Amino acid sequence: MSLLPFLLITTGGAVASLLLRHRAGLRGPVDGLALTAGTLAAVAIVPGQTLDLGGTTLGTTDYGRLFLALGSLVGLGLWLVGLAAGSRRDAGAVTLAILATSGLALALDDPRPAFLVASAGGAVGALLTTTPHGGRAVALVGIPVLRATVVAGVAAIVATAWIGSATGVLEAGPVSAGLAYLAVALAVAIRFGAIPFHRWAAPLTDVVPESTLPQVTAWAPAAFGIVALAWTEATVAPIALDLAAIRVVVLAVAIGSILLGSLAAWIQDDLEHMVGYAIVADAGVVLLALAAVDAEAAGPGRVWLLAFVVTRSAFAAWAAAARTTWFTGRVADLRGWAVRSPMLTVAFIALVVASVGIPGTAAFDARSTLVRLSMDGPLETVMAVGVLAPIAFYVRLLAVGLSRAESGRAGRPEWRPSLTAVDLTDVRAWLGRTWAADRAFSASVGAIAAAVLAVAISAGAFGLPGAAANGLPAREVPTASPDVAPPSFEPVPTRQGDSSPGQSAGASTQRSISRS
């Protein structure tokens, strides 16, 4: 099976990186080789393959391959940016561990083990990131992260096991099914640190460098969110349930994360917190896909989820490059960056285009579709504008960049690499001096590359919309148990063109029920 080489490379690379954590001279090459090999192995995954593991099946899909390929490529880029920025060297191990667990979670056809594996990846990544700071950081940051990850994982696993069985039979009444849906939706909110569940995520920005932050707060929860979207699409959407009251709770969390997350990013004084809250804001749109309870929302939800994690990774790369160039991450101390750092300006423009979007592009249309499917009336109009709130903190950064730099705070104005005098008598020392002189340039090149990739994904490159139509290996759609026949579980009419009632989910009828 083509997925196995990827799992072996990423798992082996993560273990090797941990074993070599005290030998920086060997750990760096091992991380780089494993991330590069993992990227190639992800590209080589063949969709449509399955492997029976005795009751559980591993399967590959176009979307899973694209997610893992982009995750590996972005992880490699952030690792290189982290090296140039002088960040801690744990990014490689964190990325490899998250990629390994994400690959397994996206291949499982049963949501229960998939949630378990995705939760394990998030816990391992967070603990690996916080451990180097010592016992105090683990107590103040690592333990809350672990607690949130465990709570979310247990809630999702119990909910999916509560209302279903391994045979695909729905074994719950309407109340139980509704509560299970709410538990899974809130579990996703907890994993992403959505407001008001952001208390564990905010402190991470104090101990996690920009180049590693997206791995822990975006990529690891993304696998969890993809599994939740697939479960909602296959289990909740096909049945007629009155979820109006429950959807209000999920919508409140989603809207609060979008608006308050953008506001929090706008008022932050440092780039790390700005990146962290930008991730929280974009994660609110993922919750809109769950709030829609509509089979039509799953595809756009997967499009947005992948576009958002790539874009926020590019924002983190830009923040790391800005810190390296200007020797600070404080927004007030970055005056004049847009004037004196043209490479940062190019990356920033591409970043804004990717994250805000252009009408007609895949990410923009997916976000608009999720707003339309999850709400209607005046609230839909308000949120159509509200999802553009990230423009506010981008405008603030640009205004600071166009202002005059304070005396003594000017950053490195170089827009081309610097070559120190060649010393053939000590080549290693010469390479070290050259690398140190070009750190800002290297980080800026990495930020540009990440931003360009984000623009491509936002536009729907690499067949993203088609791949997102089917996110995970096919699961048998649950049917009502013979022993449970609640009145609410009535058949709903299929839309024209649907192949079967189980596949169509009666999305239009569901919206009318849930909005009543």
Phi–psi pair at 472, nearest 5 degrees = -125, 165
Residue 420 is predicted with a pLDDT of: 64
**Cα 77 from chain centroid (whole Å):** 16
The pLDDT of 11-39, averaged and rounded, is: 88
- Taking residue 463's Cβ as centre, other Cβ atoms within 10 Å add up to 11
- pLDDT given for residue 23 in this prediction: 80
pLDDT tens column, 47-89: 988 888 777 788 899 999 999 999 999 999 999 998 888 766 6
User: Over 50: is that where the pLDDT of 501 sits?
Assistant: no
Q: Read off the pLDDT of residues 224-280 as tens digits, 9 standing for 90 and up.
A: 999 999 998 888 877 777 788 888 999 999 999 999 999 999 999 899 899 999 999
| Helix, coil or strand: residue 298 | helix
Coil vs helix vs strand at 178: helix
For the chain, give the mean pLDDT.
82
What is the DSSP annotation of 125-147? Answer: HHHHHHGGG-HHHIIIIIHHHHH
Query: Which pLDDT does position 266 carry in this prediction?
Result: 94
Strand pairing report for 50-52 and 169-170: unpaired
Q: Which residues lie across from 47 on neighbouring strands? A: none
| Residue 453 predicted with pLDDT over 60 | yes
Candidate from 9-18, 170-179, 443-452, 455-464 with smallest mean pLDDT: 170-179
pTM above 0.95, yes or no: no
Q: Which residues contact 276 (CB under 8 A, 6 or more apart)?
A: 201, 202, 204, 205, 213, 217, 265
Q: Is 201:76 a contact under the CB 8 Å cutoff? A: no
Query: In this model, does residue 439 exceed pLDDT 70?
Result: yes
Q: How do 50-52 and 57-59 pair as beta strands?
A: antiparallel
472 pLDDT more than 80: no
User: What pLDDT does residue 514 have?
Assistant: 38
- What mean pLDDT comes out for the span 387-392? 92
Rounded to 5°, angle at Cα 299 from 509 and 234: 60
Question: Rounded to the nearest 10 degrees, how much is the dihedral formed by the CA atoms of 384, 390, 395, 401?
Answer: -160
Distance of alpha carbon 196 from alpha carbon 287, whole angstroms: 13
d(CA 164, CA 454): 38
Specify the pLDDT at position 178.
84
Q: Please tell me which of 304-308, 433-437, 503-507 the model is most confident about, judged by mean pLDDT.
A: 304-308
What is the SS3 assignment for 330? strand
Residue pair 111/155 in contact by the 8 Å Cβ criterion:
no
Please check whether residue 401 is in contact with residue 351, taking contact to mean a CB–CB distance below 8 angstroms.
no
Residue (of 180, 105, 116, 182) closest to 149 by Cα position: 116
86-134 residue pLDDT tens: 766 677 888 999 999 999 999 998 888 999 999 988 777 666 666 554 4
pLDDT over threshold 70, residue 507: no
Q: What percent of the chain has pLDDT over 70?
A: 78
In this predicted structure, what is the pLDDT of residue 409?
Answer: 52
Separation of alpha carbons 16 and 38, rounded Å: 14
What is the reported pLDDT for 123? 79
| Mean pLDDT of the 400-417 span | 66
Per 3-state DSSP, the chain is made up of helix, strand and coil in percentages (nearest 5) of 70, 5, 25
Residues 6+ apart with CB under 8 A from 77: 313, 317, 446, 449, 450, 453
Q: What is the band of 356 on the pLDDT scale with cuts at 50, 70, 90?
A: very high
d(C-alpha 74, C-alpha 215), whole Å:
10
Task: Report domain extents, the chain.
Answer: 3-514
